[in-house]
Structure 1
Amino acid sequence: MNQMIRNTQETSMNRDNASHAGQAGPNELVPSRYALKIGEIDVLVVSDGVLPLPTKMLAHNAEPAVRAAWLDDMFLPPDAFDWALNVVVVRSGGKTILVDAGLGSDPDLHLPKAGQTVKRLEAAGIDLGSVTDVVLTHMHMDHVGGLLVEGVKERLRPDLRIHVAAAEVKFWEAPDFSRVSMPPGFPDALRATAKRFRKEYQSRLRLFDEEHEVAPGVVVRRSGGHTPGHSVVRLASGGDRLTFAGDLVFAVGFAHPEWHNGFEHDPEEAARARISLLRELAANRELLVATHMPFPSVGHVAVEGDAFRWVPVFWDY
């Protein structure tokens, strides 16, 4: 394997723009971007921030005592903690692809620590006007909201292509929230954000049914489960591979892949898709990145008895 996990300053993704990169200020005391190579494909994981959410949403079908024991084993607080929120920038075949767009402005849900994607892309020397394509894993507000921030649309290319599964767009015409377990306010905010997004970007949407190659070695594939059109992004180049799993995999999903996340619209199908993907990644040893895995969210999957184990990569400076 010729994987080269490198500090952002060293990657070709922003080497040419290094003189324009923003400097960390008093509010940026932790790393917020992490670069690696998948063969000839440049990848940059960018932190949009974190979402303070109730721990019950990690596994609303689990016994409270069992869920509490897992949280204690992971040194996590019992009631609420900060879920990571990550997006990815991919460069391949002359295209610059943004995979998901973060939360954007806080939709009155008290999520002040997220919505950092635009600022952090600028700090990495990535101009919004250089983005040729956007891939959406799904249309929850923490994946599309960054495109709705005031002034962002005007800075995007007029020929920008936004790739999303046709089933996802269809779902949000009349979304079903009967099987989710979300805090009050979230269903209404999700509906409103998806509706606004469709109105703002309808002409730029490029729909696919099951699978679409966005650029050489960059394939978006519908997985379903989390939402009907939820998709994952598979990267392959020079013998290296990486999957961006979106919301199909959460931190608890390795030890307890059968547990239902509160944001899943079809929890049983999400669990089936999660187990299938984790088995595949464990077998072929490819890298995994996911939206809500702790930043930088780069690692491998190992089999652990009847479940799985997360193996973070060693940071390479």
Structure 2
Amino acid sequence: MSSDNVSHPGRPGADELVPSRYALKIGEIDVMVVSDGVLTLPGKMLGHNADPTVRAAWLDYNFLPTETLDWGLNVVVVRSGGRTVLIDAGLGDDPNLNLPKAGQLAHRLVAAGIDLPSVTDVVLTHMHMDHIGMLLVDGVKDQLRKDLRIHVAEAEVKFWTHPDFSHVSMPQGFPDALRAAAKRFAEEYRSNLQTFEEVYEVAPGVVVTRTGGHTPGHSVVRLASGGDRLMFAGDAVFAVGFEHPDWFNGFEHDPEEAARVRIRLLRELSASGELLVATHLPFPSIGHVAVEGDAFRWVPIFWDY
């Protein structure tokens, strides 16, 4: 993708000191990454199967605190073929888990000129609460179109009827909050769900593909237009996952499969040169993947401003 495809990220609102959105074009597809804020979580969740001293050394090497870490929470808005597609929906209201820095999406969409009634489709990479939360905020559903299509893998919907938390490593309270949010979402939006098995084209050049791993129905979204390509990888890739793709993230319901998915996707991205955006990489989370010995290297884009 040439550098002239990246547009100005926009000025921050009067109440914000830094931009919370960044826009670019993938061929004829308009793309905007919007920050929902950050999640403050225990550092050990980056790799609960890693040697604690090695994990602490990685955090220290990257000038990051070892006890708690702010994870970015990114959402993507895509316009293609007359459709406006929201990919994931942020945290919404803080579910009593001490996550006050997230849940910013609703007002940041408005600030970016994206009215909720204009959204024709929502794609969910999976049904964790930080990907469906805004849809559960009071008053949001009333603003959405009655014919809104919410695309999610059938395996994901099935999983959350009886979710398995036996392989995760989450702080206390998170499993119950995740169960409650997923159950409420399925009940409130059942008539809007458009489920798919493996692959589905949501809009021209916008294709969602189930990967599994993080959750059974976890999916990625690939954009392609005019020779340009971008993958929104959801929770398949985390900041530590380039250097240590075999480390298990605390939110992964099948960590061994998640690691295999992560390695496969990173290999694909390094071979193709396409852009990567992921939910929990530092905002705006746009960059390339390169091979670095037996692992990978994250190469963020230069901001155009």
TM (norm. structure 2) is 0.98
Deviation at 1:121, TM superposition (A): 0.3
| 1:111 shift after superposition | 0.4
State the identity as a percent. 76
In 2, distance between residues paired with 1:255 and 1:2? 27
Q: Look up the match of 1:201.
A: 189
- 2:288 equivalent among 297, 300, 313: 300
Verify: 1:150 aligned to 2:138, yes or no. Answer: yes
Deviation at 1:213, TM superposition (A): 0.1
Q: Work out the number of aligned pairs and report it.
A: 304
Superposed, 1:227-242 pairs within 5 Å as: 227-242=215-230
1:116 to 104, 116, 123: 104
1:174-215 Cα deviation digits (max 9, x unpaired): 000000000000000000000000010000000000000000
- 1:115-171 deviation per Cα after TM superposition (whole angstroms, max 9, x unaligned): 011110000111000000000000000000110001000000000000000000000
Retained in 2: the 8 A contact 1:2–1:39? no
Given that 2:9 and 2:304 are in contact with CA atoms closer than 8 Å, whether structure 1 keeps it comes out as: no
Match of 2:62 among 74, 78, 87: 74
Partner of 1:100: 88
Secondary structure, in 3 states, of the residue corresponding to 2:186? helix
1:30 to 18, 27, 30: 18
Q: For the Cα contact (< 8 Å) 2:92–2:103, is it kept in 1?
A: yes
Deviation readout 1:87-118 (Å, 9 max, x if unpaired): 00000000000000000000000101000111
Taking only aligned residues, the RMSD between alpha carbons, in angstroms, comes to: 1.0
Matches within 5 A, 1:277-292: 277-292=265-280
2:129 corresponds to 1:141:
yes
Contact 1:288 1:301 in 2 (8 A): yes
Determine the C-alpha separation between the residues in 1 that align with 2:162 and 2:250.
Answer: 19
1:6: Cα distance to partner?
A: 1.3
For 2:14, the aligned partner's letter is: G
Alpha-carbon distance, 1:30 to partner? 1.4
CA distance in 2, matches of 1:262, 1:228: 15
1:23 CA drift (Å) = 6.3
Contact 1:83-1:294 at 8 Å conserved across structures: yes
Moved more, 28-37 or 181-190: 28-37
Stretches of structure 1 that go unaligned for 5 or more consecutive residues are 10-21
Is 2:171 the partner of 1:179? Answer: no
1:221 maps to which of 205, 209, 228: 209
Equivalent residue in structure 2 for 1:160, among 148, 162, 165:
148
Q: Which structure 1 residue ranges, 4+ long, deviate > 4 Å from structure 2?
A: none
Match of 2:36 in 1: 48
Q: Determine if contact 2:26/2:224 at 8 Å carries over to the other structure.
A: yes
SS across alignment from 1:150: coil
